[in-house]
Amino acid sequence: MVQFKKIFAIAAMASLAACSSPPERYTSSDAEVMEDTAPGIQGYEDSGTEGSGVEVLPLNRNGQNQGMGSAQDMGGDPMNDFEEAETFEPVIYFGLDQYELDDEKTKVVKYFAQEMLNNERLTVKIKGHTDERGTPEYNLALGERRAKSVAEAMMLFGVAESRIEVISYGEEMPEEAGSNEAAWQKNRRAELEIR
């Protein structure tokens, strides 16, 4: 019986020792970002974030998230955390015999389409150009395809067709004179004249 009491006392003490220490807590001196992977957020079970893995930023001593500065640090403007908006030249350059828009060219078109959507009175004249190589007929057709590909992209971004004019100059109005690759690259273009 004494043996049983001894075993029981040891088991009880081990059980109490395991339960008596509080769980490890995060302190403000830790500087790493922790990720909460538990389903839901404590106190916000119905928030629709179950299983989303919410990122938790540690608080500094003033109760501010360390990932964000205070309003005074940012000059009172919450937009200071964002990069300045990109601005673009109203010219799109193309490769040899190319008229399709890649991602970079599409960004330029989207920028100017947004400008036009912001001001309903604006119209655009899209002028297609080529370098001097090729026949005049071929270059007129290629310049038109370049201008039309820009116009089609603008319409996809919401600009009405009635606000867009397309014209091809082919090789007739070079941006840079010369018969070399540097000049040819500058001349293979579509220009957007927004009025």
Question: Tell me: the pLDDT tens digits for 102-142?
Answer: 999 999 999 999 999 999 999 999 999 999 999 999 999 99
Task: Say what percent of the chain tops pLDDT 90.
Answer: 55
Model confidence at 22, in pLDDT bands (50, 70, 90)?
A: low
Return mean pLDDT, the chain.
Answer: 76
Confidence of residue 58 (pLDDT cuts 50, 70, 90): low
Torsion sign over Cα 19, 21, 26, 28: positive
- What does the block give as tokens for 120? 């309903």
Alpha-carbon distance of 53 to 14, in angstroms, equals: 35
Residue 41 pLDDT greater than 60, yes or no: no
Position 78 pLDDT exceeds 50: no
* 43-69 mean pLDDT: 48
Confidence at 40, pLDDT banded by 50, 70, 90: very low
* Global pTM value: 0.58
Give alpha helix (H) positions in the chain: 2-20, 103-118, 136-156, 181-187
**Which of 3-12, 55-64, 175-184 is predicted most confidently?**
175-184
Q: What pLDDT shows up at residue 87?
A: 82
Q: How far apart are CA 178 and CA 166, in angstroms?
A: 26
CATH architecture, domain 91-194: 2-Layer Sandwich (3.30)
pLDDT at 13: 53
CA angle 151, 92, 127 (to 5 degrees): 55
Domain boundaries, the chain: 91-194
Order of all β-strands in the sheet with 189-194: 91-93, 189-194, 124-129, 164-170
